[in-house]
Amino acid sequence: MTTSAVRRRYRRVSGAVVVVLAGINVTDHVLHPPWWVRAIEGGALLAWARLDGLTWSQLGLGRDRLRSGLRWGLGAVGVIGAVYVVGVLIPVFRPLFQDARYDVPLGDGLRTVFVTIPFGTVLLEELAFRSVLWGVLSRHLRQWQVLVTTSVLFGFWHVLPSLNVGSSNKGVGEAVGTGGVLVTGGAVLLTTLGGLVFGELRRRSGSVVASALAHWAFNALGVLFGLVAWKIDPSP
C-alpha cells in the first residue's frame, strides 16, 4: 500500500470514529443509559482501536508513561480543588456550584462522584477523545492539529447535555438565561477550553491518566463542592 493510500485509509478511519462518537452522543442523550453502559461503550471503542493496530502507547495507555500521567494528573487535581475551595467560600461565586441536580442526600452525591462520573462520564469521554480519536488522528495529523481537533469535537459533544444547564443551575441561569444560544455556546466554549487543557496534559505526560484525573476533578469536585455549597446556603 502506498503512502498516500495509507493516509487516505487513516483519514477514513478518523472520519468513522467521529461518526460513531456522534451516534453514541445522540443515543445516550435520548436513552439516558446507566453508567455501566457508557463504560462498555468506552471499552468497545478501545477494543476496536487495538484491533485497528493502535498500540497501548499510541492510545496513551502505555505503562511506561503511567508515572508521568499520575504526576501531571494529581497536580491538576490539586489546582482544580484549590480553585473550587476559593469559589465556594466566596458568596458571589457560590451559586455557580448550586446545581439543582446535586441538591441531593450525601450518599447520592458520593455515588455520583465516585461511580457515575468516573465510570459513566470520564472513562467514556477520555477513551473516546484523548485515547482512541487522539490515536487515530495522530497517524496523519501533527500534534497541535490533534489537540485542536479533539478539543473542538469535545466541545460539540456537550451541545445536547447543555440544553438544561441554565434551568438546573441558578448561577448560570441568572448569568446567561435558561436556554438558547448563549447557554449552548458557552457550554461548547467552556468544554472546548477544557478539552485543550486535558489534551495538553495528555500530550505532555504521554498518558490519558493525566487528562482523566483532571477531567474527574473538574466534574466530581464540582459536585462535592456543590454539596458543600447547598449546606452553606440552602436557599440561594
pLDDT band at 179 (very low <50, low <70, confident <90, very high): low
Burial of 92 (0-12, 13-18, 19+ CB in 10 A): exposed
pLDDT band at 207 (very low <50, low <70, confident <90, very high): very high
Q: 164 or 89, which is more confident?
A: 89
pLDDT at 175: 46
pLDDT in tens, 138-159: 999 999 999 999 999 999 999 9
CA distances from 63 to 55, 60, 108, 165, 208 (A): 11, 9, 34, 38, 11
Closest to 194 (Cα-Cα) out of 143, 160, 225, 152: 152
Q: What are phi and psi of 171, to 5 degrees?
A: -60, -45
Task: Work out the average pLDDT over 168-186.
Answer: 62
| 95 vs 235: CA distance, rounded Å | 10
| 195 vs 152: CA distance, rounded Å | 7
Q: 201 or 166, which is more confident?
A: 201
With H, G, I as helix, E, B as strand and everything else as coil, classify residue 182: helix
Task: Work out the average pLDDT over 170-182.
Answer: 56
pLDDT in tens, 38-63: 999 999 999 999 999 999 999 999 99
User: Is residue 170 predicted with pLDDT exceeding 70?
Assistant: no
Task: Report the 10 Å Cβ neighbour count for 125.
Answer: 24
pLDDT at 233: 82
Q: 177 or 71, which is more confident?
A: 71
Q: At which residue does the C-alpha cell 497541535 appear?
A: 144
| 12 vs 18: CA distance, rounded Å | 10
pLDDT at 236: 57
User: Is residue 176 predicted with pLDDT exceeding 60?
Assistant: no
| Cβ atoms 130, 61 nearer than 8 A | no
Please state the pTM of the whole predicted model.
Answer: 0.90
Residues in CB range of 33: below 8 A, 6 or more apart? none
Q: How far apart are the first and last CA of the chain?
A: 64
pLDDT in tens, 22-43: 999 999 999 999 999 999 999 9
Domain boundaries, the chain: 3-232
Closest to 187 (Cα-Cα) out of 153, 154, 159: 159
